[in-house]
Structures are given as structure tokens and as C-alpha cells.
């Protein structure tokens, strides 16, 4: 599995922590930045990651900002992206099982690194359940087409 990573300055430290975690698992990833804690605009990084995932260059993406909200809102503007803003393990699992989320959005100022890594682990290892949930995903895609 190939992961696209991105953050703004508010999520930089947690992105680095997640990179260390992915390294320990031997997982392949690309870091789309940002590269330090200098102030930047989160839509720039969220867009790069969302485009790479939507294009199929990466299977999944993980975005981090201060709250997870800005990068999540941005990523969800890209056709084919289902970004889930998660602050707990239950939601992270459900976002895969029910929503087939292809981007996980985290808030560095909201959750600590320990919980964040538990969320990442759960999110990366939970499969989409399909069935009735696929019908609902298809409806989301229809809405996306109607309003794009
Ligand atoms: C940056 O200060 C902050 O606004 C950003 O990281 C994020 O929380 C936005 O949603």
C-alpha cells in the first residue's frame, strides 16, 4: 500500500511522527510537505495529496493540520475523495468499513501522538465492508457528479 502524506505547519510534528510509524512498518509513502513549522496555507498541501489519491497514484492519504478540519474540507472538494476527520479509533474504523474513506484527516492540536497512531493503525488495517454501504457511496458519487 502506498500512502500520500501532507500537513500544514499546525500538523507538521504529527506528520513526522506518522512517517516514523510508517517507516517502522516498512510502508511506502510520499511526503507532500510542508517541510517545517513555518506558517503555510493548508489547502495547498491538502490539494496535492487529494489529487494524488484521486488519480490513483497512492492508495490512501493522510492529512494533518491543527484540527484536521481545514485539510479535510479541502480534500473533500476533489472528485473521488472521501476524507474522514477522525479523533477516535471507532470513527476511524467506521470511516473505512462504512464510508470507504480514502483520506484520513487528523488534528495535531486535538489529539496526542499516541492516540493518533492508534487511529492511523486502525484506519490502515480496516477494510471497506461493501454491500449496503456501496449503495450509499454510489449515491455520494452521484451527488458529486451533479454538482461538479
Ligand atoms: C493553522 O493555524 C490552522 O488554522 C490549521 O492548521 C487548521 O487547524 C485549519 O483547519
Kindly report the protein residue whose alpha carbon is nearest to atom 4 of ligand 1: 66
| Ligand 1 near 67 CB (within 6 A) | yes
pLDDT tens string 25-55? 999 999 999 999 999 999 999 999 999 999 9
What is the span of the domain harbouring residue 75? 2-147
What are the pLDDT digits (tens) for 66-121? 999 999 999 999 999 999 999 999 999 999 999 999 999 999 999 999 999 999 99
Number of domains in the chain: 1
* For the chain, percent of residues with pLDDT exceeding 70: 100
- The mean predicted confidence, pLDDT, of the chain is 98
5: number of Cβ within 10 Å = 24
Q: Which residues 6+ apart lie within 8 Å of 80 measured at CB?
A: 53, 54, 102, 141, 144
- Atom number of ligand 1 nearest to Cα 69: 10
68 neighbors 104 (Cβ within 8 angstroms): no
Q: State the catalytic residue, choosing from 9, 86, 98, 133.
A: 98
Q: 130 CA to middle of ligand 1, Å?
A: 33
Query: Which CATH number characterizes residue 85's domain?
Result: 3.40.1400.10
Cis, peptide link before residue 34, omega less than 30° from 0: yes
Q: With CA atoms as reference, report the closest residue to 5 among 105, 92, 144, 93.
A: 105
Supply 30's cell numbers: 510520499
Amino acid at each position: 500500500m502506498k500512502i500520500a502524506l501532507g500537513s500544514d505547519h499546525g500538523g507538521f510534528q504529527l506528520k513526522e511522527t506518522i512517517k516514523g510509524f510508517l517507516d517502522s512498518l516498512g510502508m511506502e509513502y510520499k511526503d507532500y510537505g510542508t517541510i517545517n513549522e513555518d506558517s503555510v496555507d493548508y489547502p495547498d498541501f491538502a490539494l496535492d495529496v487529494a489529487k494524488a489519491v484521486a488519480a490513483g497514484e497512492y492508495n490512501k492519504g493522510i492529512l494533518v493540520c491543527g484540527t484536521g478540519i481545514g485539510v479535510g474540507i479541502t480534500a473533500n472538494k476533489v472528485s473521488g475523495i472521501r476524507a474522514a476527520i477522525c479523533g477516535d479509533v471507532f470513527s476511524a474504523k467506521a470511516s473505512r468499513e462504512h464510508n470507504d474513506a480514502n483520506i484520513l484527516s487528523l488534528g495535531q492540536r486535538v489529539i496526542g501522538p499516541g492516540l493518533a497512531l492508534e487511529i492511523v493503525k486502525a484506519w490502515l488495517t480496516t477494510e471497506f465492508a461493501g454491500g449496503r454501504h456501496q449503495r450509499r457511496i454510489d449515491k455520494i458519487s452521484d451527488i458529486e457528479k451533479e454538482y461538479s
